[in-house]
Each structure stands twice: as C-alpha cells, then as structure tokens.
C-alpha cells in the first residue's frame, strides 16, 4: 500500500476494482484486512468510493464440517457457474485460523480448476485475526467483490457454531453441505444450524455412498419438516437435496433452486428486509468493536497488565479487577 | 432466587454448596447464569464466599463434532470415575444453542446412567446466551463445582472453532474425540484444533470400525508428530489413543494418562503457569464485557436504533454510523 498520494491511490484502486481487475480486488481486500490506522482510513475511503456502483451479487453462505467435500463442491459449482458466464468470488472464513495457519495440508492445492478461470476470484481466510476482525474484513470484502462486478459471492466457512452464525448474517442464502451418515448421527445436528440453512446439500451421493446419501437425505427432510416455518421461505424450503460434487451431479438443480429462492424473496420483500436487518446488525458490531478500541492505549494496556498480574497471582478476583480498570476509564 | 435477606441467602447457599449439596450447586449455577443486576451482585458475593475453599479439580475440556459419541464417552468415562469414588461434574458448552434450544433430540436422554450417580453432577448448556456470556457462566460454574468438592470438572463442547478455543482456555487439559475415518479426511482437521489437544481419542474402536479406527489413530499420530513440540508436554504428548466408549474399552488408560500429564505439569510448573495465564485472559475478557455494558443504557440504545435505521436504509455507512455513536459517548 506504499507510494505517495494516498487519496489518489484509493481512487485509482477503486476505478480499477470497479473495472473488474482481479489484482485490484486482491489488493483492496489486503487493505481492508489491515489493522493499521492509515490503512483503515484508506479502506474507509475506498469503501466510500465504490459505494455508488450499485452492483449487487447473490451472497451465498456455505458451511460444512471438515471432510464433507466443501472444496470439491466449490470447485465444481463455481466452474459450472463461470462456464455460464457468471462471475464468482469465493471468500473463506476459517475461525480456527485464529490460532494457526489453517488446515494442515494448506489451501494451495484447493480449487485448482476454478482458480484458473478468468471469471473466478478466490481468497483464502486471513490468518491470526480475531473472529470480530474476520467478520468486518469479510463484510468489507463482500462489498468490494460486488463493486468488482462479481455476480455470486460464495462465503465458505467450516464447522458448527459461531462462524456459521456470522456467515449466515452476511449471506442472502445459506447452504449446509453434509456427508452421508448413519441415522444415528442426525441427532447431532443442532437445530440452530438447521434453522440457519436454506438448503441442505447431502454430498457424496456417488459410488458406494448413494444408498447412505438417500437415507441421510430422507432423514434431514424429515427433520426439516419439524422446524417452524419461516416467513422468508417459499413452499419447499428449507430444501434438502442430494449432490455429487465429484461427479458434478445435481449442481444445476442447486443453482436453479437458489435463483428461485432469491427471486421469491425479492418479489416478497424478504431480500430487502434481510439485507437491512443485516446492515443494522453489522453497524452494531462496528460500534462494539470501536468501543473496545479504548482499551488499546498504552496507559490502559499497562494498567490491565498490572491488574492482570494480581488476578493471575490469585490476590484479586477477575470481576473485581475488571471493575477497578473500568472505573479508572470513566475518569478521564 | 426470591426471598428476603440476600446476603444471608448467599452465605447459606455457599455453605450448602461447600458441603457438596448438589441442589445448592445447581441453584448457584442458575444464579451465575442470570444477567439480572441483583443476581450478578449475589453471584459476586457467592463467588467471594466460596473463594477460600482451596479445593481444586482437574478441569478437562472435551470436544468433538456431532456423531463422534461424546455423550457415550462422558457416560462411560464418568461412570468409571464415580465408581472409583471420584466426584465428577459435567458442564456443557453449546455455542449453537445461542440461536435455539440446542440439539434436536434434546439432552434429557443423554447420560442417563451417569446422572443417577450420587457422585456426579451434570449441567446442560444454558440456551439463548451470547458466547461471551457462556464463557463467563462456564468459568464461574467451574469455580462453583470446585468449591462443591468435585474432583473432575468435564467441560464438554461441540464442533470446530471458537467454542473449542474458549473451552481450552478454561481447562487444564483438552481432549479431542474423533471418529474413525478415511485417510482423506485427515486434511480437514485444522491445525489449530490439533494444537489445542493434549489427547486425541479415536472413539468407536469396536465392531466393524476397529480397522478404520486403527488407521485413523496412525494417521493422527503421524499428524501430531508434525506439530511443533510444546513446552507444556512431556514425552509422548499430545497423545493419540483408541477407545470404545460403547464397550468401555481404553478408558482406564485415558484416565491414567490424564493423571500422568497433570502430575508432570504440576511438577514442572506448567500447571500453575497455565492457570495464571488463563486467569489473566479471563480478567481481560471481563473488562471487555464490562466496557460493552455502557451500550445498554436506554439513551444509547435509542441512539443506536436511530443510526441503525439510517444504515439499514442505505443512507449511512456502517463505519460512519459507528463513529457518530462513539463520538456521542465520549461527551458525557
């Protein structure tokens, strides 16, 4: 991000990004990922500069535990879309990379075919960031992808829990990828995840696993019917389907259903309402994030270290120490 | 929590809890789970009242994705321990219950045998709480279980990601339960999770799955050897073992290894250092939590709603709205 004339750089970056230049998009995302104060300022300028483009993508959240074939699915699904002239951006959100560099085998060999497509843009998860930071970076990256004229932004995450809630809060629709499994394992799927999902895709419906996939599909269909009907769902949603990412089977049907769901929600005002609700949610998150910034001054950090040492030594209760620190903040 | 004379109630509750009365412990945990200001005050008093007992439990974090047999493991492992006169408390941390009531089939039928043991105490995850609140509640519940003379506090969580980090930050040792799987799926295990785990237990090493479990065990042993050696690990740790919770196979060895690990860490000062580091970490979390409390006043809530509506309507950028709100806070 070096060079002179920051404002000019930002404007230049914005126009190259809007023109759909992939390298500009990559650089812009690097900028929004930075925590440096001057970069935050530039990122703000950039986001304002691209705010007017009006291009909106379909934001698809995709989750699934390790081993269900997410990379293969994104590779096949993304390549199908780019083959139809749809421009696809993939953003990964990996909460476990807060601790280390991500999955053991790394991301480099993932989605090789898709990454070679000129209409595709793939961005791995930034590492060593707090989940709060990841959320902001991902939202801003989505905005940048939209400004860069991508038609689909696929936000990929892993696992069960917090990161899925986060991704569903920035997506227009949320798909959960599942593996075929014994009937016993259904009980392990949390209602919260099921309630988030607009589509449950039972992957690996190929070879030896077709029977298991069919059974799993039936199990989830049954479970989904037990859930309370949501206002934002047309008849037949949440939908449970079988796919084989490996054989590229069922992916056209998934896409058709996504477009149908989107059209229905747009026609019925749900899409707009959901985006507004999400914007409000993330605004409130920004407020919280900003408020916590007061703890980052050297004085407060020093005081925190001092009280923290007492807590660690067992001579001060954590709650009492926290009260002492916060009382100190109130007197400027 | 009704009745008159709050201070007296807290003292009474504290002494009944220290005497090991299960109902008092349950009531105390309900108290620390409450967000009501008077309850928070009472909870603080209670925690102070029990702080002097000095009884310390072995805090074991246990994680695993749905379907790996966590409930069966806790049932078998816990019953084995209570059979040896060890007093066992089980606390569940379920991040997905922030959205709804938890797993579809519910918790009632889980761990039936263990729940009938007089030396066991089982507490399901509180629902509809923020992960931050869950963390505080769980830490305080651990303290209460220790004061109530439990020897082992098993903190159970699910999935991949944030909640595991949280649980590992309040545990003396962290065990990861895995299912037998094909070699391909190893790549899906995030290094972050592996780095947290002191023990990887490959469950379901029974019946048809023995061969798969043996292979999985070898795969993880290989993967674990690739990780950087941690100062807090004796030779042979992190350890990968096969167990069958169903057949109660290998659980004695797991317990022996846990005790050996604990003894080694205590002898080498790691246990104490880790607890101190954790205390400091949670103190800092308390500070953050307390700071965010200023957003809860009616005035700030009203201002937030007003700016949030503008953000949702698209006439204000989230970051600009956040800055306006925060600037307002600074002028009292």
Residues of chain A with C-beta less than 8 angstroms from the C-beta of B289: 322
State the nearest Cα–Cα gap between B153 and chain A, in angstroms. 20
What digits encode the pLDDT tens for the residues A161-187? 678 888 999 999 999 998 887 554 554
What digits encode the pLDDT tens for the residues B19-35? 999 999 999 999 998 88
pLDDT at A137 over 70: yes
Question: Per the structure block, which two tokens stand in for A124?
Answer: 């791995």
Write down the pTM of the prediction: 0.65
Q: Counting every residue, how long is chain A?
A: 332
What digits encode the pLDDT tens for the residues B158-171? 765 678 888 999 99
Q: Which residues sit opposite B153 in a β-bridge? A: B59, B89
- Cα A121 from Cα A90, distance rounded (Å): 6
At residue B241, the 3 state secondary structure works out as strand
pLDDT at B98 over 50: no
- Predicted confidence at residue A64, as pLDDT, reads 86
What digits encode the pLDDT tens for the residues B215-249? 889 888 887 877 777 888 998 999 999 999 999 99
pLDDT at A67 over 90: no
3-state secondary structure chain A: CCCCCHHHHHHHHHHHHHCCCHHHHHHHHHHHHCCCHHHHHHHHHHHHHHHHHCCCCEEEEEECCCCCCHHHHHHHHHHHHHHCCCCEEEEEECHHHHCCCCECCCCCCCCHHHHHCCCEEEECCCCCCCHHHHHHHHHHHHHHHHHCCCCEEEEEECCCCHHHHHHHCCCCEEEEEECCCCHHHHHHCEHHHHHHCCEEEECCCCHHHHHHHHHHHHHHHHHHHHCCCCCCCCCCCCEEEECECCCCECHHHHHHHHHHHHHHHHHCCHHHHHHHHHHHHHHHHHHHHHHHHHHHCHHHHHHHHHHHHHHHHCCCCHHHHHHHHHHHHHCC
What digits encode the pLDDT tens for the residues B277-318? 999 999 999 899 889 988 988 999 999 999 999 998 888 888
pLDDT at B118 over 90: yes
Q: Which of B51, B193, B318 sits opposite A96 (nearest CB)?
A: B193
Q: Which of A287, A295, A321 sits opposite B283 (nearest CB)?
A: A321
State the nearest Cα–Cα gap between B233 and chain A, in angstroms. 18
What digits encode the pLDDT tens for the residues A267-306? 999 999 999 999 999 999 989 988 998 898 899 999 999 9
Residues of chain A with C-beta less than 8 angstroms from the C-beta of B192: 96-100, 102
- Predicted confidence at residue A31, as pLDDT, reads 92
Contacts 24+ apart (CB under 8 A), A313-317: A313/B276, A314/B279, A317/B47, A317/B48, A317/B51
Q: Would you say B183 and B215 are in contact if contact means Cβ atoms under 8 Å apart?
A: yes
- Predicted confidence at residue A332, as pLDDT, reads 43
Q: Which residues sit opposite B176 in a β-bridge? A: B63, B200
- Residue in chain A closest to B109 (alpha carbons) equals A187
Q: Would you say B308 and B317 are in contact if contact means Cβ atoms under 8 Å apart?
A: no
Peptide bond into A230 cis (omega under 30): no
Q: How far is CA B142 from the centre of its chain?
A: 9
What digits encode the pLDDT tens for the residues A89-130? 999 887 654 433 344 334 546 788 998 999 999 998 775 555
Taking the Cβ of residue A169 and every Cβ of chain B, the question of whether any pair is shorter than 8 Å is answered with: no
Question: Per the structure block, which two tokens stand in for A41?
Answer: 């300022």
- Cα A272 from Cα B246, distance rounded (Å): 50
Instruction: Note whether B65 contacts A160, CB cutoff 8 Å.
Output: yes
Judged by average pLDDT, the poorest of A43-47, A240-244, B194-198 is: B194-198
Number of Cβ within 10 Å of residue B300's Cβ equals 15
Among B68, B168, B190, which would you mutate to test the A interface (most chain A Cβ atoms within 10 Å of its Cβ)? B190
Query: ipTM of this model?
Result: 0.75
- Cα A254 from Cα A308, distance rounded (Å): 52
Closest CA to B205 of B247, B168, B169: B247
Domains of chain B, CATH where assigned? 1-51 (1.20.5.170), 54-267 (3.40.50.300), 295-330 (no CATH)
What digits encode the pLDDT tens for the residues B173-192? 999 998 887 554 554 456 66
């Amino acid at each position: 991000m070096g060079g002179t004339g920051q404002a000019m750089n930002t404007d230049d970056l914005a126009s190259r990004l809007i023109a759909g230049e992939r390298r500009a998009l990559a650089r812009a995302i690097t900028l929004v990922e930075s925590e440096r104060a001057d970069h935050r300022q530039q990122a703000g300028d950039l986001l304002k500069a691209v705010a007017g483009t009006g291009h909106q993508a379909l934001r698809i959240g995709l989750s699934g535990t390790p081993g269900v074939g997410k990379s293969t699915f994104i590779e096949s699904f993304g390549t199908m879309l780019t083959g139809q002239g749809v421009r696809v951006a993939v953003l990964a959100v990996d909460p476990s990379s807060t601790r280390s560099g991500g999955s053991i085998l790394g991301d480099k060999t993932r989605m090789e075919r898709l990454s070679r497509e000129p209409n595709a843009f793939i961005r791995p998860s930034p590492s060593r960031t707090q989940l709060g930071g990841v959320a902001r970076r991902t939202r801003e990256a989505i905005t940048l992808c939209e400004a860069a004229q991508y038609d689909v932004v696929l936000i990929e995450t892993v696992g069960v829990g917090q990161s899925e809630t986060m991704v569903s809060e920035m997506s227009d629709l949320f798909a959960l990828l599942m593996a075929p499994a014994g009937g016993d394992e259904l009980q392990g799927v949390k209602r919260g995840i099921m309630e988030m999902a607009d589509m449950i895709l039972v992957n690996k419906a190929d070879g030896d696993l077709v029977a298991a996939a069919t059974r799993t599909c039936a199990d989830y269909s049954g479970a989904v019917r037990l859930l309370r009907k949501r206002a934002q769902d047309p008849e037949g949603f949440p939908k449970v389907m079988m796919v084989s990412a490996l054989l590229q089977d069922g992916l056209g049907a998934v896409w058709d259903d996504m477009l149908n769901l989107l059209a229905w929600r747009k026609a019925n005002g749900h899409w707009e309402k959901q985006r507004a609700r999400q914007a409000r949610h993330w605004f409130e998150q920004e407020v919280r994030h900003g408020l916590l910034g007061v703890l980052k001054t050297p004085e407060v950090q020093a005081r925190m270290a001092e009280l923290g040492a007492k807590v660690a030594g067992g001579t001060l209760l954590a709650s009492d120490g926290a009260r002492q620190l916060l009382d100190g903040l109130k007197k400027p």
